[in-house]
Structure 1
């Protein structure tokens, strides 16, 4: 593989060990918000709620209140795991006939479904599904939170009032998506200069520029003051529905008022003398569990760093697990698609843990902004197969099938860890490998996150980190054709994970080493 980049540069992230809490998130400032909640006496759940709302401001193209997702919670005192599923749903008034196939081949976005006329399932208000983040955070707070709800949401409102600082990475993300962002006037006004160009600072002066997120700040302020009911029943609900319907979508007040996140038992996976807890149902959890089940048979762990046998077993386990997923769940996302998702993990000083993944689906979701609320909206309708008669075919009031895979694990040595990632279908392999690095090879969070990974996402090839030894590459090629690539900043060749670990009373955390925003922040001592 030819490229123009240095072959000698080494990139690492420092891992801080502390007896206090740690928040690992895809944006440093969001992690700081969560860590400040821990410092104020909140627990891991409080910190996760605050981080959720903050990261929706700081990574608006990845998630936000108009997104969906899932979280896994570990209560140390009870030694018990819980799952909150807040995935998106299709609107009740949705008519599959409004999404006719164009007959022009496959969609060019995340999923290689048959293309729909005008890409109505991918972009625009017709692609918007019922969001679940606010309901999910509300349910977590009611069952497990300690601090007042208002104190957890207000920091995000303050960040939005300030507006996201536009830096080189913001310009890179908006610039590479400028063409699609320009199609909605409100989206273009928020993210683009003159509705066409990426917003960028001057080359010669240190002039700070910020996105205008004032409407978003007002919405977050209402959520902080009035709770989730403002989003699903109050002024925000009415304004959001009007905006979506004015732009041609079918989201209704009934959709919002009837939406409820679910508190459910986790999928419990016994592995190598330990346990892993994952989200059940229409998530990546069942496929992740199947991959570990296959890996337990394919791999005989050896002491030390993973070698050829390990990586070959990863490839076989993931390939078979995805084959079974496609046959039984109907999810056929493009292996090359990055997805638009964020993940963060939290551990507090008592050992409670939370792993949260939330997503708009595509990058910038539907590429539609609700002008009254300032919310960038999801394109969850694209999770469904537009072709009728399939396991995952488009239908009204139906739960979306997603790939997110937050997990909490406990290994045979008694260490606990919370993991997850963004990256579309690449998430499953990333989380499985990190789990194996920890549970099969005894790596700590620092070693696991710096260990090279591969990606097998149901396609015909293996994508392998080019720093893997030649012996490993040769072994992988015997499983299936293997392509070497580098870990890069944009786009990501592999998923973008974030995790925390607790060993004894010591907590650590790490994020994807190539992420320029991602960081682990420790509670102040």
Structure 2
């Protein structure tokens, strides 16, 4: 049956939003923040590899989207090495401290928690807010490993754009102010978070209507930290002074994180989860990610017959396959439902260089602003990765010491003939729905990246109903309603009812990229754009 529309949204019924895509022989970086995409494109223009560009983009996006990710984040990466014709997977997800005691996270008996996951609520939300929610970060070690194996440019050069942006401080435009305002109460609890993001306990003044009136965050402490990591390498966050300072800050605020936890941490570079789908081949990250759920979805889709364009039967096949895949995930991996009202704090970017090397990376603090705690010595906003664990013991994903977190991230590489894609998204459990459909659009229907990103999608992520883009034809909605409860809604700037993707495509010798069409910051930047701006 159809559940009708979701919450009424006061938006223009005649407004149309599109993003322009250009094919180019040059490398392309697509990221949820254009400044970060430009940082990666600058590296490509300087002769860097796709991995070099990914390192630069990852650090830069942690500065210009501090509430989404950063050096204290964790996530996963897919790599395609063109000369080898081989896919690699990297899991640099977070990990729980060795001294963690589940008894320190007693259930309150007050019902469900109020953030991303409706776990049983823990006393004082110790697994959601504050230093007691912080997990061991993984992104920087992962970046260091892939740079050592594949990178061409010096490590310090790759961090230079991030350091420059941190020295300047994040410009608080209307979108930044909106994001900060959405979490003001939580940020005000930690004095260091309040000092960084708020003004007198309130959200910061928005930069004015003219370019002459600017408000910027003071990220100088973060800049100094990044300079140390640039000088001393990725392991500075784990074995060096930065790591020691971060641990001391977190222990002073109640964490049981130790130096030994950081010293022992290693990201895992592994064989990709690769499988055939019709006349295509797909590669995802195995293990405690959404990669296995992505594979299960395509195993089901392989049983369906598709026409020349997505139609009602196509979307019904998507809904059925995704629902079955999530039922399997919930029963075997222990990842419970997320609250659809709470935004996940995740970002994604994809890179393709001139030689056809590709990277798709998703990184996250988990909740928006993570634990809402800042390490004052380092200027880093900390994750709340411990919330990924179920606080009830005896389940597949129960909270415990020295455990890797179960993530919903799903960066993928796909190949079919002369076409390759590197897709991913932010959006918690909405990610697999988006990445699966977009991969199918490209591989089943031979869509270019512009058509892929503008094609309406559904979201079926294990909940009680299907969420459908109201731009879908009525025939599609009616077909979905024969087997599912359907709620229609629109793609908006904030909040996102669907995942927020970014991706690149290579067809023959031409590259292209695009980001979520409703994202005001997302952009795809070519190294040719950099070269053009550098001309006299």
Structure 2 counterpart SS, 1:420: strand
* Separation in 1, partners of 2:339, 2:114: 12
Structure 1 counterpart SS, 2:235: helix
Matched, 1:437 2:448: no
The residue aligned with 1:178 is 184
The residue aligned with 1:72 is 78
CA shift, 1:203, in A, is: 5.8
2:391 to 386, 391, 396: 386
Higher mean displacement: 194-203 or 55-64? 194-203
* Separation in 1, partners of 2:225, 2:89: 27
1:294 to 293, 300, 306: 300
The residue aligned with 1:142 is 148
The residue aligned with 1:475 is 479
* Separation in 2, partners of 1:94, 1:486: 42
The residue aligned with 1:415 is 419
CA shift, 1:335, in A, is: 5.1
1:466 to 467, 470, 486: 470
CA displacement 1:463-486 (0-9 Å, x = unmatched): 000010110000011121101100
Matched, 1:365 2:370: yes
CA shift, 1:3, in A, is: 2.4
Structure 2 counterpart SS, 1:53: helix
The residue aligned with 1:308 is 312
Structure 2 counterpart SS, 1:435: helix
Structure 2: segments with no counterpart, 5+ residues? 532-536
* Separation in 1, partners of 2:60, 2:203: 26
Structure 2 counterpart SS, 1:472: helix
The residue aligned with 1:166 is 172
CA shift, 1:151, in A, is: 0.4
**Contact 1:335 1:458 survives alignment (8 Å):** no
Matched, 1:343 2:348: yes
2:511 to 488, 493, 507: 507
Count of aligned pairs: 522
**Contact 1:408 1:419 survives alignment (8 Å):** yes
* Separation in 1, partners of 2:161, 2:10: 41
The residue aligned with 2:534 is none
1:269 to 254, 275, 289: 275
- Judged with a 3 Å threshold, the aligned counterparts in structure 2 of structure 1 residues 235 and 443 are, in CA distance, closer, same or farther, namely same
The residue aligned with 1:375 is 380
**Contact 2:337 2:463 survives alignment (8 Å):** no
RMSD value, Cα: 1.0
Matched, 1:396 2:401: yes
CA shift, 1:201, in A, is: 2.7
Please report the TM-score for the alignment, with normalisation by the length of structure 1: 0.98
**Contact 2:118 2:339 survives alignment (8 Å):** no
Matched, 1:61 2:89: no
CA shift, 1:154, in A, is: 1.7
* Separation in 2, partners of 1:166, 1:49: 25
* Separation in 2, partners of 1:462, 1:373: 43
**Contact 1:335 1:459 survives alignment (8 Å):** no
Matched, 1:221 2:227: yes
**Contact 2:115 2:339 survives alignment (8 Å):** no
Matched, 1:120 2:126: yes
1:255 to 229, 252, 261: 261
The residue aligned with 2:456 is 452
Please report the TM-score for the alignment, with normalisation by the length of structure 2: 0.96
- Judged with a 3 Å threshold, the aligned counterparts in structure 2 of structure 1 residues 277 and 173 are, in CA distance, closer, same or farther, namely same
**Contact 1:164 1:213 survives alignment (8 Å):** yes
1:198 to 195, 204, 212: 204
Matched, 1:278 2:301: no
**Contact 2:207 2:214 survives alignment (8 Å):** yes
